[in-house]
């Protein structure tokens, strides 16, 4: 996690939400302090500790407790607790919860996919189908859920897809140009959709071959044709509902866009101790710790 980048992002998010000042929280005495508890309203996997710690430091709040990323949580479980100026707690709440809920949703979806696949020989990875501006955090959430990351950006690796193949006149030429222009530390991956393309990618000696939109049966047959030194990846249309059928296919990686582009946030709530939603008065908050 790049903490410098994280702080810059959080600063921008606070500017966006607070504007010139939180009018509602401004009604509260600036000297008042409170204890806030964030609890899960759904079962899932928590992710967001770095966000909690960084935002708290920026906003001069004290983190009394926080679950580690990757923790499995149930409805009603305490995720983290904060203490500080009441005004600040409330003006920070929405940015904090939005990010934690989103990241925990990704971690939860990733954990479900890994568990449904139930094949330790195959890595479950994300794609670049992420929310602009949130890629670093979203990919961290995938790791927290037990998955791994595909390339972070376009400069991480060469990925020769269908449009590149068309523009460059074929896989052979595309891989040759990549070998000539890319550094020795930059892997070259080729997406294939036909057996003819697969044979061409093998002959070109790509580092990784991606099988696009193939059935589990096709994957097993195609994987058997690939030399052991070339890694293989399955992608395209694979979801949490279908991933179990890819168990034992022999590929090294399954990449799933669903991990980041269409997850359900893990609902949670922040309540000041002593409020209507809490049974203990705020002034007695220290007694329940």
Question: Based on the structure, what is the number of domains in the chain?
Answer: 2
**How is residue 243 annotated by DSSP?**
G
In the annotation, is 129 catalytic?
yes
Residues 164 and 183 in one domain: yes
Residues 276 and 222 in one domain: no
pLDDT reading at 284 higher than 80:
no
pLDDT confidence bin for 60, thresholds 50/70/90: very high
pLDDT digits (tens, 9 = 90+) for 193-238: 999 999 999 999 999 999 999 999 999 999 999 999 999 999 999 9
Please tell me which residue in 93, 191, 200, 233 is annotated as part of the active site: 191
Residues 155 and 241 in one domain: yes
The reported pLDDT for the residue numbered 236 is 93
Listed as own residue / partner, the contacts of 221-228 with beta carbons closer than 8 Å and 24 or more positions apart are 222/195, 222/198, 223/249, 223/250, 223/251, 224/250, 225/198, 225/199, 226/198, 226/202, 227/202
The reported pLDDT for the residue numbered 243 is 97
Instruction: Find the DSSP H helices in the chain.
Output: 3-18, 49-58, 86-117, 135-144, 162-168, 171-181, 195-204, 216-223, 258-261
Residues 205 and 281 in one domain: no
Distance, in Å, from the CA atom of 125 to the CA atom of 121, rounded to the nearest integer, reads 13
To the nearest whole number, what is the mean pLDDT of the chain?
93
Please tell me which residue in 7, 94, 177, 220 is annotated as part of the active site: 94
pTM value > 0.85: yes
pLDDT confidence bin for 275, thresholds 50/70/90: low
The reported pLDDT for the residue numbered 274 is 73
Mean pLDDT of 2-6: 95
Residues 128 and 214 in one domain: yes
Please tell me which residue in 7, 17, 115, 129 is annotated as part of the active site: 129
- Other C-beta atoms lying within 10 Å of the C-beta of residue 239: 14
pLDDT confidence bin for 277, thresholds 50/70/90: low
Residues 202 and 282 in one domain: no
Extract the tokens encoding 87.
Answer: 């005004």
Residues 213 and 241 in one domain: yes
Domain of residue 95 covers 3-112+264-288
Q: In what order do the strands lie in the sheet with 268-272?
A: 62-66, 78-85, 33-40, 268-272
Residues 213 and 80 in one domain: no
Residues 256 and 124 in one domain: yes
The reported pLDDT for the residue numbered 147 is 98
In the annotation, is 212 catalytic?
yes
In the annotation, is 191 catalytic?
yes
| Residue 143, φ and ψ in degrees, nearest 5 | -65, -40
pLDDT confidence bin for 279, thresholds 50/70/90: very low
Mean pLDDT of 51-64: 97
Please tell me which residue in 64, 77, 193, 212 is annotated as part of the active site: 212
Residues 225 and 283 in one domain: no
Residues 100 and 166 in one domain: no
In the annotation, is 94 catalytic?
yes
In the annotation, is 231 catalytic?
no
Q: What is the CATH number for 138? A: 3.20.20.70
Extract the tokens encoding 268.
Answer: 């949670």
Please tell me which residue in 128, 135, 148, 161 is annotated as part of the active site: 161
């Amino acid at each position: 996690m790049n903490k410098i980048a994280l702080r810059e992002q959080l600063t921008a998010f606070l500017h966006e939400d607070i504007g010139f000042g939180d009018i509602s929280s401004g009604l509260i005495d600036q000297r008042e302090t409170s204890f806030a508890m964030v609890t899960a309203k759904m079962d899932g996997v928590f992710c967001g500790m770095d966000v909690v710690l960084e935002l708290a430091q920026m906003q001069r709040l004290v983190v009394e407790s926080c679950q580690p990323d990757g923790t499995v949580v149930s409805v009603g479980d305490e995720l983290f607790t904060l203490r500080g100026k009441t005004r600040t707690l409330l003006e920070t709440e929405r940015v904090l919860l939005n990010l934690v809920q989103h990241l925990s949703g990704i971690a939860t979806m990733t954990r479900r996919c890994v568990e449904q696949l139930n094949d330790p020989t195959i890595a479950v990875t994300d794609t670049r189908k992420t929310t602009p501006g949130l890629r670093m955090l979203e990919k961290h959430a995938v790791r927290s859920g037990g998955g791994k990351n595909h390339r972070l950006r376009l400069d991480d690796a060469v990925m020769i897809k269908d449009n590149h193949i068309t523009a460059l006149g074929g896989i052979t030429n595309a891989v040759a140009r990549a070998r000539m222009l890319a550094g020795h530390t930059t892997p070259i991956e080729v997406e294939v959709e036909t057996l003819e393309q697969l044979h061409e990618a093998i002959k070109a000696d790509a580092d990784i071959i991606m099988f696009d939109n193939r059935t589990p049966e096709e994957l097993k047959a195609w994987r058997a044709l690939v030399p052991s030194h070339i890694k293989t990846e399955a992608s395209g249309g694979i979801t949490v509902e279908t991933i179990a059928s890819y168990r034992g296919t022999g590929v090294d990686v399954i990449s799933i866009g669903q991990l980041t582009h269409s997850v359900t946030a893990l609902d949670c709530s922040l309540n000041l101790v002593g409020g209507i939603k809490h049974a203990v008065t705020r002034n007695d908050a220290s007694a329940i710790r």
